[in-house]
Amino acid sequence: MIRYWEKIYAKSENIKAYALLFPALLMVILAMASPMLLTFVTSFHTQVSMMEIDTTLTLGRYKDFFSKPVYTTLLGRSIKISFFVTLVTLITTYPLAYYIAFYVKKNKMLWIVLMTLPFWTSYLLRVFSWKVILGHKGVVNSALMALGMIEEPLGFLIYSQTAVVLTLAHAWAAFAILPLYVSLDKIDKSLLEASYDLGNSKFQTFWRVTFPLSLPGVIGAILIIFIPTVGDYVTPQLVGGTDGRMLSNMIQALFGRANNFPLGAASAVIMLFSVSLVALIVTYVTRKVSMRMS
Amino acid sequence: MYNKNNILFLYAILYFAFLYIPVMLLPVFSFNDAIHMVFPLKGFTLKWYDQMINASRLHQALFNSIKVGVTASIFSTLIALLAAKAFTKYKVRLRQLSYGAILLPFVIPEIIIAVSLIVLWTGMGLQLGLIPVTISHVLFCTPFCMLVLISRMEGFDRNLEEAAMDLGENAWGTFWRVTFPLVLPAIVASLLLSFVISFDEFILAFFLTSNDQTLPLYMWGQLRFPKKLPHVLALGAVIIVATSIIVMLSYWLRNLGKPTDKKSNIGGI
Amino acid sequence: MSDNEFIKIKNVSKKFDDVVAVDNVDINIARGEFFSLLGPSGCGKTTLLRILAGFEYPSSGKVLIDNVDVTGITPNLRPTNMVFQNYAIFPHINVKKNIEFGLRKEKLSKDALDKRVKDALRMVQLEGYEDRYSNQLSGGQRQRIALARALVKQPKVLLLDEPLGALDKKLREEMQLELRKLQRSVGITFIFVTHDQEEAMTMSDRVAVMNKGKILQISPPRDLYNNPKNLFVGDFIGQINFLESEIKSIDSNNINVLINKLGEHTLTYSGNINKEESIVCAIRPETIQIGNNPDQIKSDITIKGKIANTSFYGNMTYIYVEIEGIAKTLMVSTSDALEGLTYDSECYININLKDIRLIKKN
């Protein structure tokens, strides 16, 4: 008898928990999972005319995607750009997170707030200000010309993949600083002292102890930068030019002017699938390399 | 051992400049008496702010943004509060799976969420507009809210609730007299942060609205016209200052009256 | 109902999944008693306390307080109050509001409420601390506030969950005396959980020693020390020497025992025992006397040994003596600084039969 009630009670813990989780899970299912599923199904349809869609299932849109070089080029470029954004962001923010975690003694919180504050201010405006900085008549060019250092504006600054990478690395910095800082700050300082004590130099200690222990932060940063940036639309539009256009701009066109939902859906599916795959590979390789080093 | 490192300090300062200069440029040029954003600066003026105040379409967009932001922040905070309670109080079966599912919208590219909602919405024969924008914002903000709330509720001493019950309060009284006041700062922080996210959000709004513009969409529309640019800068400057204040406030709230002041918890951004 | 059965814990067990935290515990506690639950961490003492408070419900068994079955009653409706291990002072309200917290239901006038708070603060010697917040109090002050907050409700039973654990040694000893004094003056039944045997011994009327969910012995402190009923209790309370022994013959209460290397002796044992029972003989180190030559001290047993180690504690010295044929060194404590008794020197130890306790192994 008592065992029976215990079981009911143990189960009721789960029931209570899921009652609380219900709204959140319902939202994810209704507003994310089912639309995505529907998009997946749509990717097997065919756009016949402006208003008409043939719902016979076909792999035609995937064939379309892979037979036209423009799509595969854009996909490859999107992933390449995201990869470099992730890499640049990690490399530039790691020393900073390291500095805050190990060297800042007072007001650590203030440092973190200041380093993440720009992230909260309008994304659009931040991207736009890079357009202004890098533009033909932009801040950099006008300043350099005013100083007499150059005669003509430097044209390579804007409308390039480099401009996109730079802008995105700036925009996503907070997403790298936070997980890196959290994982570095957790490291027990006596582990590092033990490493010195056992004869490792500072440099060896970093690669053999600090970096491997900060890996959760590195991987977290990879996942939350790599995947979302591939779908960025604003940055390529504003600073990318034709050379910096990404797959997301194409998807936007397919759902907008071109009005080809099935092909747009197929592109979205391919984008999500390939970027997830690459992110997993990058994570895996990072983990392996780090293990090899320590 | 870790007393000083001048190279890293210098780097931190440089990075700081890299982070802030692009953001600060907009307010600087918003006071510049010229249409183009070029150096050297011409002279001080407030006329762009004047223009901003008198732009009527901007008012409508601002109103829309506030409407969407307030609704989205209330709903996402409410949903996240319940979920955070479940994760911090109970040993949930399939915990990782549910947790991951709720955080997923935070990782999936916004454009994917946006086009999926378009497919669903138009598939149901509904008009795009502020409603799907709000829904997508709730979806996108909930993970943030949940992380903010969990980081507060995790440090929550369960003995406090037990002490309240021991002193004669029932479950409801315990919630109102102990749990709620202790979690309140995090709830306010969650409301503020999700409002800021929704208020600044561009991609989802861009895809999911038809004629009703939000503020970022309004700015996007104006960026193409060089003559309109300066008043967008003025608007941008106001937004930057306002969001900074709100975010600072929410950080302060999140650390307010923590039971143990050992370490500031920034786990949830 | 007699006052000796003010609290009745009847055959209480508590299982968590497959772990038995409390195993068929049966205790009666008298009105106004200072009762301690003593045991190592994880022995189930805190679970038992939480069952009394109502935070856990027993898997089987009953709890009666003042003749009322409270087994299924929620904590807010029980006549018990608790002092938590970490004190659980509400951080968002001040000391006054903390102390008033449990009085809301009594609908007191403002003046009456103020008086109750004032009295409670005077009782714990923290008058004038009304407006402080938890983070402005020291550990000892928090502990007093927690005490005041619980006592102001005038509970029938006060439950204390290792309330002194977080304090430093000096303060802890001070609080032990104070707590005992307070308990006498308010006359409320205290149930005190601790893993510190010294703490339990100095304060309690009776102590229950727990291990692995079971109650091993319930006795007044002196009895617990002098007559441990089993190996665990003997070992857990104070220092003790165990000597392997064997029963040779039994004649009512007189038992003939062969003690390893100490020969055959007749000891008394109250209680049932049979010849096959495996036993040990226990001797407290302070009952053993030590000297440089065999005739120095008159005693029932004298045996030669060699000093393996000594450790000095100020008021006493522990001497560890190696005896040929006994695997474990024998521990002797003495308050005299004896000359010539240094490391590796020869010595004689003297034991009286009245100091030897016979303990069943199981």
CB C82 within 8 A of CB C76: no
Phi, psi angle pair for C230, to nearest 5° = -150, 170
Phi, psi angle pair for C36, to nearest 5° = -115, 145
Cβ-in-10-Å burial (0-12, 13-18, 19+) of B127 comes to exposed
Instruction: Please tell me if residue C60 touches chain A, with a CB cutoff of 8 Å.
Output: yes
Distance from CA of C265 to the nearest CA of A (A): 51
Of the ranges A80-84, B115-119, C206-210, the best mean pLDDT one: C206-210
Strand pairing partners for C230? C360
Tokens for C144?
Answer: 């007093």
> What is the rounded distance in angstroms from the CA atom of residue B94 to the CA atom of residue B101?
11
Picking from C175, C149, C58, C95, the residue whose alpha carbon sits closest to that of residue B163 is: C149
Note whether A14 and A128 are same-domain residues. no
CB C304 within 8 A of CB C321: no
- Which residues are CB-neighbours of B28 under 8 A, at least 6 positions away? B41
Task: Give percent of chain C with pLDDT exceeding 90.
Answer: 45
pLDDT of C2 reads 61
pLDDT at C288 over 50: yes
pLDDT of B265 reads 41
B249-267 pLDDT, tens digit per residue, is 888 887 765 544 443 444 4
Helix ranges (DSSP H) in B91-179:
95-107, 110-123, 130-154, 158-166, 171-174
- Which residues are CB-neighbours of A127 under 8 A, at least 6 positions away? A167, A171, A234, A235, A238, A239
Note whether A123 and A185 are same-domain residues. yes
- Which residues are CB-neighbours of A152 under 8 A, at least 6 positions away? A145
Selecting from C53, C85, C93 the residue whose C-beta is nearest the C-beta of B166 gives C53
Residue A18 lies in a domain: yes
pLDDT at C263 over 90: no
Residue A64 lies in a domain: no
CB contact under 8 Å between C60 and A2, yes or no, is yes
Compute how many other C-beta atoms are within 10 angstroms of the C-beta atom of residue A146.
Answer: 11
Residue B173 lies in a domain: no
pLDDT of C217 reads 94
Question: What is the C-alpha end-to-end distance of chain B, expressed in Å?
Answer: 29
What ipTM does this complex have?
Answer: 0.83
pLDDT of C10 reads 94
Of the ranges C19-33, C78-92, C261-275, the best mean pLDDT one: C19-33
CB contact under 8 Å between B111 and A139, yes or no, is no
Tokens for B257?
Answer: 């009256």
CB C240 within 8 A of CB C223: no
Residue A213 lies in a domain: yes
Residue type, B9: F
pLDDT at C103 over 50: yes
Q: Is C294 helix (H, G, I), strand (E, B) or coil?
A: coil
pLDDT of B47 reads 79
Residue A159 lies in a domain: yes
Selecting from A32, A92, A170 the residue whose C-beta is nearest the C-beta of B104 gives A32
Compute how many other C-beta atoms are within 10 angstroms of the C-beta atom of residue C128.
Answer: 10
Distance from CA of A62 to the nearest CA of B (A): 17
pLDDT of C102 reads 87
> What is the rounded distance in angstroms from the CA atom of residue C83 to the CA atom of residue C158?
8
Picking from B207, B209, B216, the residue whose alpha carbon sits closest to that of residue B243 is: B216
Distance from CA of C254 to the nearest CA of B (A): 52
Of the given ranges (A51-60, B15-24, B80-89, B238-247), which has the lowest mean pLDDT?
A: A51-60
Instruction: Please tell me if residue B6 touches chain C, with a CB cutoff of 8 Å.
Output: no
Residue B268 lies in a domain: no
Instruction: Please tell me if residue B261 touches chain C, with a CB cutoff of 8 Å.
Output: yes
> What is the rounded distance in angstroms from the CA atom of residue B111 to the CA atom of residue C75?
52
- Per DSSP bridges, beta strands C19-29 and C214-219 are unpaired
**H/E run at residue A229:** helix A215-230
Instruction: Please tell me if residue B113 touches chain A, with a CB cutoff of 8 Å.
Output: yes
CATH code for position B126? 1.10.3720.10
Mean pLDDT of C168-174: 87
- Which residues are CB-neighbours of A104 under 8 A, at least 6 positions away? A111
Phi, psi angle pair for C42, to nearest 5° = 85, 10
Note whether A92 and A238 are same-domain residues. yes
Residue B130 lies in a domain: yes
Residue B145 lies in a domain: yes
Q: In order of start, what are the domains of chain C with their CATH numbers?
A: 3-230 (3.40.50.300), 239-362 (2.40.50.100)
Give the rounded distance of the alpha carbon of C319 from its chain centre.
Answer: 26
> What is the rounded distance in angstroms from the CA atom of residue A162 to the CA atom of residue A243?
10
CB C358 within 8 A of CB C267: yes
Q: Tell the residue number behind the tokens 């996109």, with chain if given.
A: A164
Which residue did the predictor score with more confidence, B42 or B103?
B103
CB A279 within 8 A of CB A222: yes
Distances in Å between the alpha carbon of C304 and those of A94, A175, A248, B259, C102?
70, 75, 93, 61, 65
Distance from CA of B174 to the nearest CA of A (A): 18
Cα dihedral sign, A97-A99-A103-A106: negative
Strand arrangement of the beta sheet that strand C157-161 belongs to: C80-83, C157-161, C189-194, C34-38, C206-211, C214-219
pLDDT of B267 reads 40
Residue A62 lies in a domain: no
Picking from C267, C287, C145, the residue whose alpha carbon sits closest to that of residue C226 is: C287
A2 chain-C contacts, CB cut-off 8 A: 59-60
DSSP C339: T
> What is the rounded distance in angstroms from the CA atom of residue C159 to the CA atom of residue C70?
15
- Which one of C81, C84, C92 makes the best mutation probe of the B interface by having the most chain B beta carbons within 10 Å? C92
Compute how many other C-beta atoms are within 10 angstroms of the C-beta atom of residue C26.
Answer: 12
CB contact under 8 Å between B12 and A224, yes or no, is no
Residue B167 lies in a domain: no
Overall domain count for chain B: 1
Residue A9 lies in a domain: yes
pLDDT of A4 reads 57
Picking from C37, C335, C306, the residue whose alpha carbon sits closest to that of residue C192 is: C37
Task: Give percent of chain A with pLDDT exceeding 90.
Answer: 19
CB A51 within 8 A of CB B113: no
Selecting from B157, B169, B182 the residue whose C-beta is nearest the C-beta of C76 gives B169
CB contact under 8 Å between B162 and C75, yes or no, is yes
Task: Give percent of chain B with pLDDT exceeding 90.
Answer: 26
Residue B163 lies in a domain: no
- State the residue range of the domain holding A224: 71-293
Picking from B109, C303, C75, the residue whose alpha carbon sits closest to that of residue A272 is: B109
Mean pLDDT of C72-80: 88
> What is the rounded distance in angstroms from the CA atom of residue C61 to the CA atom of residue A118?
61
Note whether A198 and A241 are same-domain residues. yes
C303-341 pLDDT, tens digit per residue, is 888 999 888 888 888 899 998 888 788 888 887 766 677
Selecting from B111, B193, B266 the residue whose C-beta is nearest the C-beta of A178 gives B266
Tell me the pLDDT band of A189, cut-offs 50, 70 and 90: confident
In chain B, positions 142-181, which contact chain C (CB-CB < 8 Å)? 157, 159-160, 162-170, 173, 177-178, 181
How confident is the prediction for chain A on average, in pLDDT?
A: 84
CATH code for position A229? 1.10.3720.10
Residue B110 lies in a domain: yes
B107-124 pLDDT, tens digit per residue, is 888 899 999 999 998 888
Of the ranges A144-148, B56-60, C223-227, the best mean pLDDT one: C223-227
As a 3-state breakdown, chain A gives helix, strand, coil percent values, each rounded to 5, of 75, 0, 20
Selecting from B165, B181, B182 the residue whose C-beta is nearest the C-beta of C74 gives B165
Q: Is C50 helix (H, G, I), strand (E, B) or coil?
A: helix
- State the residue range of the domain holding B113: 42-48+56-156+184-256
Distance from CA of B182 to the nearest CA of C (A): 7
Distance from CA of A25 to the nearest CA of C (A): 29
Note whether A18 and A106 are same-domain residues. no
C22 chain-A contacts, CB cut-off 8 A: none
Residue A60 lies in a domain: no
Compute how many other C-beta atoms are within 10 angstroms of the C-beta atom of residue A128.
Answer: 26
Tell me the pLDDT band of A9, cut-offs 50, 70 and 90: low
Q: How many residues does chain C have?
A: 362
Overall domain count for chain A: 2
Q: How many residues does chain A have?
A: 294
Q: Is C47 helix (H, G, I), strand (E, B) or coil?
A: helix
Instruction: Please tell me if residue B99 touches chain A, with a CB cutoff of 8 Å.
Output: no
Give the rounded distance of the alpha carbon of A100 from its chain centre.
Answer: 23
Note whether A149 and A253 are same-domain residues. yes
- Which residues are CB-neighbours of A7 under 8 A, at least 6 positions away? none
Of the ranges A21-35, A48-62, C245-259, the best mean pLDDT one: A21-35
pLDDT of C68 reads 92
Compute how many other C-beta atoms are within 10 angstroms of the C-beta atom of residue C125.
Answer: 12
Note whether A193 and A82 are same-domain residues. yes
